[in-house]
Amino acid sequence: MDDSEFWMVGEVYNYNINNGRWFDFGDKKVDFFAQEIHSLINFGFKYDAEKDYESLFSSYSRLLHNELKGQGVLNYLSSHDDGHPFDPERNRPMEAATKLLLSPGASQIYYGDELCRPLIVDGAEGDANLRSLMDWSLIGSEDTANANKILEHYQKLGRFRRGHPAVGAGIHQMISKEPYLFSRSYEDASLEDLVLIGLDLEPGLKILKTGSVFKDGSELRDAYSGWTGKVRNGQVSIDSEHGIVLLEKLEKAL
pLDDT reported for residue 172: 99
Residue 103: is its pLDDT beyond 60? yes
**3-class SS at 17?**
helix
- For residue 20, the model assigns a pLDDT of 96
Please tell me whether residue 220 adopts helix, strand or coil conformation.
strand
Tell me the C-alpha to C-alpha distance, in Å, between residue 148 and each of 139, 193, 226.
Answer: 6, 30, 18
pLDDT tier, 145 (very low <50, low <70, confident <90, very high otherwise) = low
| ∠ CA 155-202-232, rounded to 5° | 90
Give the residue-averaged pLDDT of 48-63: 98
For position 229, what pLDDT does the model report? 94
Inform me whether the pLDDT recorded for 143 exceeds 60: no
Beta carbons of 49 and 100 less than 8 angstroms apart: yes
Q: How far apart are CA 191 and CA 178, in angstroms?
A: 31
Which domains are seen in the chain, by residue range?
A: 9-163 (3.20.20.80), 169-252 (2.60.40.1180)
- Secondary structure (H, E, C), 160-172: HHHHCHHHHHCEE
Q: How far apart are the C-alpha atoms of 193 and 167, rounded to whole Å?
A: 9
pLDDT of residue 5: 83
Taking only the tens place, the pLDDT of each residue in 187-241 is: 998 999 999 999 999 999 999 999 899 999 999 999 999 999 999 999 999 999 9
Tell me how many helices (H) and strands (E) the chain has. Answer: 5, 14
Percent of the chain whose pLDDT exceeds 90: 81
Rounded Cα distance between 198 and 241, Å, is: 14
List Cβ neighbours of 116 (8 Å cut-off, separation of 6 or more): 90, 93, 146, 147, 150
